[in-house]
Structure 1
Amino acid sequence: MWTTACRRGPKCASYFLQRANFVPSTPVVHACRPSLELLRFYATNFLLEEAEDAGESMSQLQKRSTPPISLAKSLACLPDESSTPEKRRPLTRMELKRLIELRVKRRVKAQYLNGKFYDLMGSVVAAADTLQDSYDIIRLNSNVDLASKIDDICFKSLAEELASGNFDVEANTLMMVAKGRSKECLVLPKLKLKVIQEAVRVVLEVVYRPHFSKISHGCRSGRGHRSALRYVCQEIGKPDWWFTISMNKEADGNILSKLISEMEEKIEDARLFNFIHRMFDAQVLNLVFGGFPKGHGLPQEGVLSPILMNIYLDIFDREVFRICMRYEGISSDSADVKNGQRSKLRCWFRRQMKDCDDKNVNQSTDAVETRLHACRYMDEILIAVSGSKDVALSIKDEIIICLRNSLYLDVEDHADLFAVRKNSRGLQFLGMAVRLAAKETAALRAVNKLKDKIRLFAHQKQEIWDAMTLRIGKKWLAYGLRRIKESEIKSLGLSTPLLDQISQFRKEGMKTDHWFKDMLKIWMQDMNAKVEANEEIILSKYIAEPALPEDLRDSFYKFHKQAMEYVSSETAATLALLQSSTTNTESIPSTETTVMRIEAPINFIKRNLHRYGLINVEGFPRHVSTLVLQDDALIINWFSGLVRRWLKWYSEFDNFGDIKHLIVECVRKSCIRTLAAKYRMHEVLIEKRFELEQSGIPLTEDLETEMMTSDSPISDDDEALMYGISSSGLCILSLSRVKVPTRIFNCFVMGCTIASPSMYALHVKEKQRFPGWKTGFSTSIHSSLNRRRIGLCSQHVKDLYMGHISLQSIEFGALST
Structure 2
Amino acid sequence: MYYFCHVNVVQHFRINIIVSNICATGWFPLVFRPYTKFSIIEEVDDFEHSSQTYEKSASAMSLAKSLACLPCESSTSVKQKMVTRMELKRSIELRIKKRVKAQYLYGKYHDLMEKVIANASTLQDAYDVIRLNSNIDLASERDDLCFASMAEQLVSGKFDVNANSICMFSKSERKEPLVLPRVKLKVILEAIRVVFEIVYRPIFSKISHGCRSGRGHLSALNYVCKEINKPDWCFTICMNKEADKNVISKLISTMEERIKDDHLFSFVRGLFDAHVLNLTFGYFPKGHGLPQEGVLSPILMNIYLDMLDREIFGICMRHEGLGSNSDVSKGGQHSMLRSWIRRQMDNADSNKRLGDGLGVRLHACRYMDEIFVAVAGSKDIALSVKTDVTNFLRYSLNIDVKDCSDILPMHDGSCVQFLGTAVSVTAEESEAVKAVHKLKDKVRLFASQKKEIWDAGTVRIGQKWLAYGLKRIKESEIKQLKLSTPLLDHVAQFRKDGMKTDHWFKSLLKIWLQDVNARSEADEGIVLSKYIAEPALPPDLSESFYDFQMQAEKYVSSETAATLALLYKSSNIAGSSTSKDSIVTKMEAPISFIVRSLNRYGLINLQGFPRHVSTLILQENDLIVGWFSGLVHRWLKWYSEFDNFRDIKIIISECVRKSCIRTLAAKYRMHETLIEKKFESELSSIPMTEELETEMTSMTSSFENEDEALMYGISYSGLCVLSLSRVKVPSRVFNCFVFGCCVSSPSMYTLLVKERQKFPGWKTGFSPAIHPSLNGRRIGLCNQHVKDLYMGHISLQSIEFGALSK
Same fold (TM over 0.5): yes
Q: Which residue of 2 aligns with 1:420?
A: 410
Amino acid at match of 2:377: G
Contact 1:624 1:674 in 2 (8 A): yes
CA spacing shift, 1:600–1:349, aligned 2, 3 Å:
closer
Q: For 1:271-670, what aligned pairs fall within 5 Å after superposition?
A: 271-333=263-325, 342-343=334-335, 345-346=337-338, 369-422=359-412, 424-483=413-472, 497-505=486-494, 520-521=509-510, 523-588=512-577, 590-670=579-659
Q: Which residue of 1 aligns with 2:68?
A: 80
CA spacing shift, 1:335–1:790, aligned 2, 3 Å:
farther
From 160, 169, 183, the counterpart of 1:177: 169
More off after superposition, 256-265 vs 295-304: 256-265
Question: Matched residues in 2 for 1:238 and 1:70: separation?
Answer: 68
Give the secondary structure class of the aligned counterpart of 1:384: strand
Q: CA deviation at 1:179?
A: 2.1
Give the secondary structure class of the aligned counterpart of 1:720: helix
Q: CA deviation at 1:448?
A: 2.5
Q: Which residue of 2 aligns with 1:753?
A: 742
Identity %: 65
CA spacing shift, 1:174–1:567, aligned 2, 3 Å:
same
Q: CA deviation at 1:480?
A: 4.3
Q: Which residue of 2 aligns with 1:105?
A: 97
Deviations 1:649-701 (A, max 9, x none): 11111111211121112111222222222222222222222222221111256
Q: Which residue of 2 aligns with 1:24?
A: none
Does residue 797 (structure 1) correspond to residue 786 (structure 2)? The answer is yes
CA spacing shift, 1:342–1:31, aligned 2, 3 Å:
closer
CA spacing shift, 1:749–1:555, aligned 2, 3 Å:
same
CA spacing shift, 1:33–1:448, aligned 2, 3 Å:
closer
Contact 2:745 2:782 in 1 (8 A): yes
Give the length in aligned residue pairs: 757
Kindly report the root-mean-square deviation, in angstroms, between the aligned alpha carbons of the 2 structures.
3.2
Question: Matched residues in 1 for 2:502 and 2:614: separation?
Answer: 34
Question: Matched residues in 2 for 1:371 and 1:506: separation?
Answer: 83
Q: CA deviation at 1:463?
A: 1.7
Q: CA deviation at 1:291?
A: 1.8
Question: Matched residues in 1 for 2:189 and 2:250: separation?
Answer: 20
Q: Which residue of 2 aligns with 1:48?
A: none
Q: Which residue of 1 aligns with 2:9?
A: none
Contact 2:653 2:687 in 1 (8 A): yes
Contact 1:486 1:492 in 2 (8 A): no
Which structure 2 segments of 5+ residues have no match? 4-11, 32-37, 48-59, 343-356
Does residue 38 (structure 1) correspond to residue 26 (structure 2)? The answer is no
CA spacing shift, 1:70–1:727, aligned 2, 3 Å:
farther
CA spacing shift, 1:661–1:119, aligned 2, 3 Å:
same
Q: For 1:776-791, what aligned pairs fall within 5 Å after superposition?
A: 776-791=765-780
Amino acid at match of 2:380: D
From 108, 112, 115, the counterpart of 2:107: 115
Q: Which residue of 1 aligns with 2:217?
A: 225
Question: Matched residues in 1 for 2:452 and 2:470: separation?
Answer: 27
Contact 1:374 1:382 in 2 (8 A): yes
Deviations 1:606-638 (A, max 9, x none): 111222222222222222222222111111111
Q: Which residue of 1 aligns with 2:26?
A: 54
Deviations 1:544-568 (A, max 9, x none): 3222221121121122222222222
Q: CA deviation at 1:798?
A: 0.9
Q: Which residue of 1 aligns with 2:51?
A: none
Contact 1:582 1:593 in 2 (8 A): no
CA spacing shift, 1:194–1:67, aligned 2, 3 Å:
closer
Contact 1:287 1:309 in 2 (8 A): yes
Give the secondary structure class of the aligned counterpart of 2:399: coil
CA spacing shift, 1:84–1:326, aligned 2, 3 Å:
closer
More off after superposition, 693-702 vs 500-509: 500-509
Give the secondary structure class of the aligned counterpart of 2:711: coil
Q: CA deviation at 1:706?
A: 5.1
Amino acid at match of 2:375: V
Give the secondary structure class of the aligned counterpart of 1:174: strand
Contact 2:394 2:400 in 1 (8 A): yes
CA spacing shift, 1:516–1:145, aligned 2, 3 Å:
same
Amino acid at match of 2:258: K
Question: Matched residues in 2 for 1:659 and 1:349: separation?
Answer: 43
Q: CA deviation at 1:587?
A: 3.9
Q: Which residue of 2 aligns with 1:124?
A: 116
Q: Could you state the TM-score of these two structures normalised by the residue count of structure 2?
A: 0.87
Q: CA deviation at 1:534?
A: 3.0
Give the secondary structure class of the aligned counterpart of 1:747: coil
Amino acid at match of 1:270: D
CA spacing shift, 1:97–1:613, aligned 2, 3 Å:
same
Contact 1:292 1:780 in 2 (8 A): no
Q: CA deviation at 1:34?
A: 3.5
Deviations 1:257-291 (A, max 9, x none): 11111111111111111111111111111111112
Amino acid at match of 1:743: R
Give the secondary structure class of the aligned counterpart of 1:729: coil
Q: Which residue of 2 aligns with 1:22?
A: none
More off after superposition, 776-785 vs 70-79: 70-79
Which structure 1 segments of 5+ residues have no match? 4-28, 43-52, 60-65, 351-366
Q: Could you state the TM-score of these two structures normalised by the residue count of structure 1?
A: 0.86
Give the secondary structure class of the aligned counterpart of 1:245: strand
Question: Matched residues in 1 for 2:623 and 2:385: separation?
Answer: 52
Give the secondary structure class of the aligned counterpart of 1:721: helix
Contact 2:13 2:68 in 1 (8 A): no
Q: CA deviation at 1:180?
A: 3.5
Question: Matched residues in 1 for 2:96 and 2:247: separation?
Answer: 28
Question: Matched residues in 2 for 1:439 and 1:806: separation?
Answer: 40
Q: CA deviation at 1:740?
A: 2.1
Question: Matched residues in 1 for 2:84 and 2:105: separation?
Answer: 35
Question: Matched residues in 1 for 2:103 and 2:753: separation?
Answer: 45
Q: For 1:191-210, what aligned pairs fall within 5 Å after superposition?
A: 191-210=183-202
Q: For 1:145-184, what aligned pairs fall within 5 Å after superposition?
A: 145-180=137-172, 184=176
Deviations 1:139-174 (A, max 9, x none): 000000000011011000011011110011011111
Deviations 1:63-113 (A, max 9, x none): xxx976699999999643537335122211111111111111111111111
Give the secondary structure class of the aligned counterpart of 1:195: helix
Contact 1:286 1:302 in 2 (8 A): yes
Amino acid at match of 1:143: N
Q: Which residue of 1 aligns with 2:349?
A: none
Deviations 1:749-769 (A, max 9, x none): 111101111111111111111
Question: Matched residues in 2 for 1:339 and 1:651: separation?
Answer: 51
Contact 1:487 1:499 in 2 (8 A): no
CA spacing shift, 1:623–1:70, aligned 2, 3 Å:
farther
Q: Which residue of 2 aligns with 1:137?
A: 129
CA spacing shift, 1:441–1:507, aligned 2, 3 Å:
same
Q: CA deviation at 1:705?
A: 4.0
Question: Matched residues in 2 for 1:587 and 1:81: separation?
Answer: 70
Give the secondary structure class of the aligned counterpart of 1:84: helix
